Amino acid sequence: MGASTVYHEKQIKELCALHTLNNLFQDEASYSKVQLDEICRSLSPNHYINPHKSILGLGNYDINVIIAALHIKECEAIWFDKRKDPSCIETSNIVGFILNVPSSYKIGFVKLPLQRRHWISVKKINGVFWNLDSKLDAPVQIGNEDQTMEYLRNQLQNNDKELFVICRKEVEKNHSWLLPQFRP
């Protein structure tokens, strides 16, 4: 399966959370900016400046918006404890992964001394895991399960990165996102 058959939204403004969600569900109609902005308003209805997105209204949504958006699709985001090895995850029972990584802020070619956060989805499609980072020109094949676990291990070595396991609510409830030997 080639990258051309994998749905991939590219970065526009600060909408990486929107792109991450649509890439994760492989559908451009999964979520819209209007929908995520409405979630922001519902999370903080009495705030003139919403703490869950960019002050400029260009996106930069936080994890609370992503979690609320996932709930619409009966899904959960489980924060993964990076002290554990990701090989404990039962990947056949999950929707995919969302990584939160530091991102430098640029205007043209000038790198500003601001640290932003960036959302990236990783998803298994037809037996192959893909990096669906909206900053990439096209999706990048990570590979099989072992290669993906190594990729995640490498990502989690950086203390500034966070991993969320995305699964259906019933999978979260019965802990079947974990391999049987790791379930409580």
Tell me the catalytic residues: 16, 118
Which residues on neighbouring strands pair with residue 122, listed in sequence order? 97, 131
The answer to whether the beta carbons of residues 3 and 105 sit under 8 Å apart is no
Closest CA to 20 of 122, 128, 142: 122
Closest CA to 132 of 1, 2, 5, 9: 9
The answer to whether the beta carbons of residues 14 and 59 sit under 8 Å apart is yes
Backbone angles phi, psi at 121, to 5 degrees: -100, 145
